[in-house]
Homo-oligomer: A and B are copies of this chain.
Amino acid sequence: MIRYLLLALLGRSAAYGYELKAAFERLLAGTWPINIGQVYRELARMEANGLVECTVVAQDLLPDRKVYELTERGSKELERWLEAPPTSLVRLRDEVFLKVIVQLGNHGAALETIWRQREAHLTAIAELGRLRNETDAATGLLIDGLVLRLEADLRWLDLAEDADRAT
């Protein structure tokens, strides 16, 4: 995933690692903090695979920059990813859901988890509301997506509470 996001960012314009980390986190509004080391490792790997190539740009006073850009293969690979059929959506590996369903019927415990989660969801939604203001279109849209999901999960927590009481 990281690899393809970096490819997508390089598809917009050539960039060096340090800059890519910032662009990456700005695009995702900091919801995916990435370690700078990983950016360099991915770039090195992609270079080895011929997806990107770099030019060293010397600077005085500051360290050299290694400016990367997509190769032909790189943009093919990016395009391939973008056009690939969606991976299976029938897949749910979230703590929230799992913690609740394994406790279903265990009244006290399930309800406590549900309440804790509900509160966490509300906090997260509020936090995203604050984040939403300081972003551009694409990032704002991403945040909207997150909020919609969290709202769906809140409705699910209501369902779960009913289901637990019904047992």
In the complex, chain B residues whose CB is within 8 Å of the CB of A87: 95
This chain's copy number in the assembly:
2
Within 8 A of B (CB), among A127-167: 127-128, 131, 137-139, 141-142, 144-146, 148-153, 155-156, 159-160, 163, 166-167
Q: Smallest Cβ distance from A130 to chain B, in angstroms?
A: 11
User: Using an 8 Å CB-CB cutoff, how does the interface string of A12-31 with B read, 1 for contact, 0 for none?
Assistant: 00000000000000011001
Q: What is the size, in residues, of chain A's interface with B at 8 Å between Cβ atoms?
A: 64
Q: A90-B127, A109-B82 given as contacts; is B153 within 8 A of A104 (CB)?
A: no
Task: Give Cα A128 to B95, complex, Å.
Answer: 20
Give the contacting residue for A155; candidates B91, B99, B148; CB below 8 A: B148
Give the contacting residue for A160; candidates B93, B141, B149, B151; CB below 8 A: B141
Q: Is there a chain B Cβ closer than 8 Å to A63's Cβ? A: no
Q: A102-B8, A120-B86, A138-B104 given as contacts; is B156 within 8 A of A148 (CB)?
A: yes
The 9 sampled A-B contact pairs (Cβ below 8 Å) are: A9-B102, A27-B101, A31-B90, A86-B117, A86-B120, A92-B149, A101-B142, A104-B138, A149-B156
Chain A interface residues (CB < 8 Å from chain B) = 1, 4-5, 8-9, 27-28, 31-32, 81-83, 85-93, 95-105, 109, 112-113, 116-117, 120-121, 124, 127-128, 131, 137-139, 141-142, 144-146, 148-153, 155-156, 159-160, 163, 166-167
